[in-house]
Structure formats: structure tokens, C-alpha cells
């Protein structure tokens, strides 16, 4: 392994070993508390522009395989781990994690005190950093980091969204058959791709919906016409990376869908964009929620759901003027779900499709299908 060097914007400098792609990369560092599913996390488009620090100390043991990708091409900047295991032990493994990262030009560094990095991010907040296998001098790294744009200044949606419309027909993965199911569909929805995870689309299909995926720069009037002609029955707004306040063009199109009274379901970034489209800006969390073990209380039935999460921004309590809060985060009491009072619209901040993570909240996909 080559030596690698990481410099954080707060002045922290660490030496490490590289098991991923060579080079120099700048991004925002966050931490993820999931105990498993590193491949699904790495290939989640919502991590575009970010370095993922895994709190799970052992990474690499199950290798990688093509069926566990959330998107074909990963968009994160890299991963930071305590110990990398280069000898996969899993019957589904097709490729070592190191080879997977190198193939996609993603950095991977190990021999880092990830507990220390996590505590630093918890106390000081998510921060920008530069990782390099080329430069080792602190002043050089500091200068390059200072010249690089911050994550909130980059529109990553343009990088992760599809460019042409396409249909999605496969359902969820069936381990008994080692393949994806294709259940019958009854209603049609348009899913707007801001960086949608494949398993979100799989769960929509599994709930009995035919999914037409459209790019982020969609034409709301086209969708409204399809809805009025009863060719589609609702709209889904996907997850995605970055600051939702950057997406003003997309917000204007969503406002047209809202005005047309089209049934809408939003997850993560889609949840945030619905709030903004209603006139209620989001706020950035100190270090975000990233992991597969976040407790969320369902206020409708009083049950606690363990959820998978990946977001840096949150809808504020100001939304209570026009929506009922349906879910609250039990770590910090932030809003995790809302149902709008005078429209067939609901949304959640967390990931009910898991991948990785628990499946406590999969019922939401069936609720959307029933609403349609």
C-alpha cells in the first residue's frame, strides 16, 4: 500500500495507507454508523462529493458484487476506514473492494483512528478535507484545499441524474432465487431522479407500481398532461446529494406539480425539496445523519422504527403551518416525516428501502400505492 495523507480544514493532519485509487481529491468528510452494507453506502449517489468515514472498524471482508450496487457508478470521493481486509470471504463476492475502488477512481485509506475522526466531526461538524497519495507537505495540502470549491457550491445533481427517460421494472432482490423479482404493476408513477438509489425504485415496483424514471431537469407541464390524461397516477421525488437550496429550477417545477394537486411521495432530498417548494427553507445539520441504526418515532401509532439515513439537511418546524409531522428523530428531535394538510403529498427524511439497513419502514411504499 502507498502512503496517503489527509488534511482537514480545521488543521488536523493525518498519515494513512491507500488501498483505493491514487491521486488527490477534495470533499466533505462525514461518518456512517452502519455495521454492514459498505458497498450499498459507497454506491449511494447521495454521497457525491463526500468522503465516508466508517465507524465499523473492519471493512472489505465481504468483497463486492454487481447486484448490491445502488447505482452502477459510485460518486463518493472516497472512504476512510480503520482496518481494510483485502481477502474477501463471501460466496457472493465477485471483486475485492480495493479493485472496485480503483476501477471507479475512488480513494480508499486505512490505518486511521476512525473513532477519533468521528468524535472530531461530532464535536466540530462535517468539514472539508483533502486526501492525497501525491502530496505530503501540509502547506501544499492546505493551499490546494483552500482553492477548491466547497460541497455546497457544487450542483452534484447534474452529475448523478440520468439524462434520458427510462422505465424501471425490476422489484426487490429475492435471496431464495438469487435474482430480482418482477411483480405485476397496477398504477404508473413518474420518479424524478435526483440520484435515486436502485432499491427505492425496486420497492416502488414491489408495491405494484410501474416506474418511469425522468431526469432532474424535468418538464412539469409534461407530467401534468400525463396525469390529466390518466396515463400516470402520481410522482415520486428521489433522494440525492448536496444542498437542496441550490436546486431552484427544480423547485419551480415541483411547485407546478403541487399546484396541479398530483399525489407526491418524497424521500430524503425529495422531502427537503417539497418543503422548499412550499416556501419553507431547510437548514444544515451540524454533522448530518448517516447510518443504519437511527431511531425514529412514528407519531401516528407511537412505534419506534429503526431507520437507515443519509442526509446533511433538515426540514424545520416552520413547516407545521401547512403540514402535520408524522415522524421525529429520537436522537435530536428533528423532523423525519410530514403529511401536507391540504394536498395528497407526504414525505420522509430517512430511507425506508434500507440497502443497507433495517426494513421497519417499507410499509411507506405500500401506503403510497394505496393513496394512488
To the query of whether residue 294 is one of the catalytic residues in this protein, the response is: no
Residues 27 and 43 in one domain: yes
For the cut 90, the answer to whether the pLDDT of residue 287 exceeds it is yes
104-122 residue pLDDT tens = 999 999 999 999 999 999 9
Residues 148 and 165 in one domain: no
Q: Report helix, strand or coil for 25.
A: strand
What secondary structure letter does DSSP report for 351?
B
Residues 182 and 231 in one domain: yes
Check residue 327 and give its pLDDT: 98
Report cis status (omega within 30 of 0) of the bond before 356.
yes
| pLDDT tier at 78, thresholds 50, 70, 90 | very high
The domain tally of the chain equals: 2
Residues 309 and 171 in one domain: yes
To the query of whether residue 75 is one of the catalytic residues in this protein, the response is: no
Whether the Cβ atoms of residue 314 and residue 283 lie closer than 8 Å to each other: yes
To the query of whether residue 152 is one of the catalytic residues in this protein, the response is: no
Continuous H helices in the chain = 38-42, 97-103, 114-124, 138-147, 157-160, 198-206, 220-228, 248-259, 269-277, 363-371
At 127, phi and psi to the nearest 5?
-145, 160
| pLDDT tier at 317, thresholds 50, 70, 90 | very high
**Which residue among 168, 278, 327, 351 is the active-site one?**
351
Residues 276 and 352 in one domain: yes
Cβ atoms within 10 Å, residue 188: 18
| pLDDT tier at 19, thresholds 50, 70, 90 | very high
Q: How far is CA 116 from the centre of its chain?
A: 24
CATH number at residue 357: 3.40.50.880
| pLDDT tier at 357, thresholds 50, 70, 90 | confident
Residues 183 and 77 in one domain: no
Check residue 338 and give its pLDDT: 98
| Locus of grid cell 418543503 | 275
Tell me the pLDDT of the chain averaged across its residues.
97
Residues 148 and 242 in one domain: no
196-253 residue pLDDT tens = 999 999 999 999 999 999 999 999 999 999 999 999 999 999 999 999 999 999 999 9
Question: What predicted TM-score, i.e. pTM, was given to this entire model?
Answer: 0.97
Residues 140 and 162 in one domain: no
Residues 331 and 246 in one domain: yes
Check residue 354 and give its pLDDT: 85
Check residue 40 and give its pLDDT: 97
Q: Which one of 153, 187, 205 terminates a domain?
A: 153
Check residue 176 and give its pLDDT: 85
Residues 201 and 333 in one domain: yes
Lowest mean pLDDT among 36-50, 167-181, 266-280: 167-181
For the cut 90, the answer to whether the pLDDT of residue 281 exceeds it is yes
Check residue 328 and give its pLDDT: 98
Q: Which one of 90, 124, 153 terminates a domain?
A: 153
Whether the Cβ atoms of residue 210 and residue 188 lie closer than 8 Å to each other: yes
CATH number at residue 102: 3.50.30.20
**Which residue among 203, 305, 336, 353 is the active-site one?**
353
Cα–Cα dist 26/20, whole Å: 15
Q: What are the counts of helices (DSSP H) followed by strands (DSSP E) for the chain?
A: 10, 21
Residue 238, C-beta contacts closer than 8 angstroms, at least 6 positions apart: 191, 192, 193, 194, 195, 196, 197, 200, 267, 268, 269, 270
Check residue 191 and give its pLDDT: 98
Q: Which domain holds residue 311?
A: 157-371
Higher pLDDT, 86 or 177: 86
142-201 residue pLDDT tens = 999 999 999 999 999 999 999 999 999 999 998 888 899 888 888 999 999 999 999 999
Residues 74 and 95 in one domain: yes
Summarize the confidence of residues 13-34 as an average pLDDT.
98
Q: Which one of 101, 123, 153 terminates a domain?
A: 153
Residues 142 and 219 in one domain: no
Cα–Cα dist 189/372, whole Å: 9
**Which residue among 168, 250, 268, 336 is the active-site one?**
268
Amino acid at each position: 500500500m502507498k502512503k496517503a495523507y489527509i488534511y482537514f480544514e480545521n488543521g488536523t493532519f493525518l498519515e494513512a495507507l491507500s488501498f483505493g485509487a491514487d491521486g488527490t481529491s477534495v470533499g466533505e468528510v462525514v461518518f456512517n454508523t452502519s455495521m454492514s452494507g459498505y458497498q450499498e453506502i459507497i454506491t449511494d449517489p447521495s454521497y457525491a462529493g463526500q468522503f465516508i468515514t466508517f465507524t465499523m472498524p473492519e471493512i472489505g471482508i465481504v468483497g463486492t458484487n454487481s447486484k448490491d450496487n445502488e447505482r452502477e457508478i459510485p460518486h463518493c470521493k472516497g472512504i476512510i476506514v480503520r482496518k481494510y481486509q483485502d481477502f474477501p470471504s463471501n460466496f457472493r463476492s465477485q471483486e475485492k473492494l480495493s479493485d472496485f475502488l480503483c476501477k471507479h477512481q475512488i480513494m480508499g485509506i486505512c490505518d486511521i483512528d476512525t473513532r477519533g475522526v468521528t468524535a472530531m466531526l461530532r464535536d466540530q461538524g462535517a468539514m472539508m478535507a483533502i486526501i492525497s497519495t501525491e502530496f505530503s507537505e501540509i502547506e501544499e495540502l492546505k493551499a490546494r484545499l483552500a482553492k477548491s470549491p466547497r460541497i455546497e457550491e457544487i450542483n452534484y445533481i447534474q452529475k448523478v441524474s440520468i439524462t434520458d427517460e427510462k422505465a424501471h421494472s425490476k422489484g426487490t432482490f429475492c435471496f431464495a432465487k438469487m435474482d430480482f423479482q418482477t411483480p405485476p404493476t397496477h398504477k404508473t408513477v413518474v420518479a424524478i431522479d435526483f440520484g435515486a438509489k436502485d432499491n427505492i425504485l425496486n420497492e416502488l415496483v414491489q408495491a405494484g407500481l410501474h416506474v418511469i424514471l425522468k431526469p432532474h431537469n424535468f418538464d412539469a407541464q409534461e407530467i401534468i398532461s400525463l396525469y390529466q390524461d390518466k396515463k400516470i397516477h402520481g410522482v415520486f421525488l428521489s433522494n440525492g446529494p448536496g444542498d437542496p437550496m441550490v436546486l431552484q429550477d427544480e423547485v419551480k417545477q415541483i411547485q407546478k406539480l403541487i399546484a396541479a394537486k398530483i399525489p407526491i411521495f418524497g424521500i430524503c432530498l425529495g422531502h427537503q425539496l417539497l418543503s422548499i417548494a412550499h416556501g419553507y427553507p431547510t437548514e444544515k445539520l451540524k454533522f448530518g445523519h448517516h447510518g443504519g441504526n437511527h431511531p425514529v418515532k412514528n407519531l401516528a401509532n407511537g412505534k419506534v422504527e429503526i431507520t437507515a439515513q443519509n442526509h446533511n439537511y433538515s426540514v424545520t418546524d416552520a413547516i407545521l403551518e401547512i403540514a402535520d409531522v408524522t415522524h421525529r428523530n429520537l436522537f435530536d428531535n428533528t423532523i423525519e416525516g410530514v403529511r401536507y394538510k391540504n394536498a395528497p403529498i407526504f414525505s420522509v427524511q430517512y430511507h425506508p428501502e434500507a440497502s443497507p439497513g433495517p426494513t421497519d419502514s417499507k410499509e411507506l411504499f405500500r401506503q403510497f400505492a394505496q393513496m394512488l
